[in-house]
Amino acid sequence: MAWYTADVTYTTDRDKLDAVRPAHRDYLRGLVDRGLVVAAGPFADDLGGFVVYQVEDRVQLDKLLAEDPYSTDGVVAKREVREWNIRMGSWLPKTQ
Instruction: Give 19-48 pLDDT, tens digit per residue.
Output: 999 999 999 999 999 999 999 999 999 999
N residues, the chain: 96
Report the predicted TM-score, pTM, of the whole model to 2 decimal places: 0.91
Q: What stretch of H or E contains 21?
A: helix 14-33
Strand order in the sheet with 2-10: 37-42, 48-55, 2-10, 76-84
Nearest to 87 by CA among 20, 15, 3, 23: 3
How many CB atoms sit inside 10 A of residue 62's CB?
13
Residue 96: per-residue pLDDT: 42
Summarize pLDDT for 56-85 with one digit per residue, the tens. Answer: 999 999 999 999 999 999 999 999 999 999
CATH topology of domain 2-84: Alpha-Beta Plaits (3.30.70)
* Domain extent listing, the chain: 2-84
